[in-house]
Structure 1
Amino acid sequence: MDSKDRQIIRALQQNGRMTNQDLSDAVNLSPSPCLRRLRNLEQSGAILGYSAKVNAKTYGLPITVFARIKLERHDADIVQRFEARVRDTEEILECHVLTGSMDYQIRVLVPNLDAYEDFVRHRIHTIGGVASIDTTFAYGTVKQTDVFPSLD
């Protein structure tokens, strides 16, 4: 991937609905080479897909929760079961493997505190192998972006 490919990606991260003509203007390429590069980025897996950015509060999910989870043990069965259940749980938007005292951090969206309690009791605790959950509620957002920093 070169700097022109990164320019294309950043432009699409800022506006995924732009036409190829607008994209080629934004990155200073003629339309045909721009489209060729775009298709290559899609086929190589550099661009994973396209989606709409939605206001979670307006959608009805005003509560963002960050939960750090520690597993009882790190044997293959517990890790595989936990990660499979995380992938299948729609309330979990992100899950990251951590270094340090906790094993995972998840980002969860819920409509209210009762829904989060239900989520913990019926989705997380039922997985088995979870030693502890440390929950933090976000009460505001200072910055949220999907645009990667420039490498050039």
Structure 2
Amino acid sequence: MPYINLDAIDLKILAALQDDGRLTNNELADKVGLSPSPCLRRVRRLERDGFIQAYRAVLQRESVGLGLTIFVEIKVERHSRDNAKALQDTLAAMPEVVSCHMVSGTADFIAEIVVPHLKAYERLLTEKLLTLPMIGDIRSNFVLTRAKSDAPLPLSHLKRDAKAKEPVPDCD
């Protein structure tokens, strides 16, 4: 799925839908300067080609009772592909884990966990995480203030040079 196939209209569509995924096709078409039929065709192509992965509501965590966010650094015991894969699959299956990344550095994985309160995290830690045999070490980092979260992806690096028909590197 090379991003080279995206043109300026596609980028406008993606940016508009990131800002407001509830736009009607007519509203989106007006916003990007197309008539509704070609706009819908482009959106369907962007969905089919995997550029648009999903549409969802972003909920305010505290409003739904998930007031505690923890970034958990996890080291894998006895490094192996099987242990890493097993841990990745286990973390992905936990509803409290809202994002998880394999990283380089002192930890092997960083998981973002949301729970209602400290007692719920204690239960998750002691009853689930610490029982996993592939975990060697866990460090918990409690979020004090969320400065930015769930932001739209930056797309400026995808702008094209009209003559070259290639993406222009964004070196700002």
Same fold (TM over 0.5): yes
In the alignment of these two chains, the number of paired residues is 152
Matches within 5 A, 1:1-152: 1-151=6-156, 152=159
Distance (whole Å) between structure 1 residues aligned to residue 109 and residue 146 of structure 2: 21
Tell me the SS of whatever aligns to 1:121.
Answer: helix
**Aligned twin of 2:166:** none
Q: What 5-or-longer segments of structure 1 have no aligned partner? A: none
1:73/1:129 contact within 8 Å kept: yes
Distance (whole Å) between structure 1 residues aligned to residue 107 and residue 7 of structure 2: 36
Distance (whole Å) between structure 2 residues aligned to residue 4 and residue 73 of structure 1: 49
Tell me the SS of whatever aligns to 2:106.
Answer: coil
**Max Rg structure:** 2
* 1:2, distance to aligned residue in structure 2 (A): 2.4
Tell me the SS of whatever aligns to 1:25.
Answer: helix
Q: Output the TM-score relative to the length of structure 2.
A: 0.84
* 1:146, distance to aligned residue in structure 2 (A): 3.1
Tell me the alpha carbon deviations over residues 86-133 of structure 1, each in whole angstroms, 9 at most, x when there is no partner: 111110000011011210110000011111111111121122121111
Q: What 5-or-longer segments of structure 2 have no aligned partner? A: 1-5, 160-172
Distance (whole Å) between structure 1 residues aligned to residue 102 and residue 82 of structure 2: 16
Amino acid at match of 1:24: A
Greater mean alpha carbon deviation, residues 73-82 or residues 91-100:
73-82
Q: Output the TM-score relative to the length of structure 1.
A: 0.94
* 1:10, distance to aligned residue in structure 2 (A): 1.3
Distance (whole Å) between structure 2 residues aligned to residue 109 and residue 103 of structure 1: 20
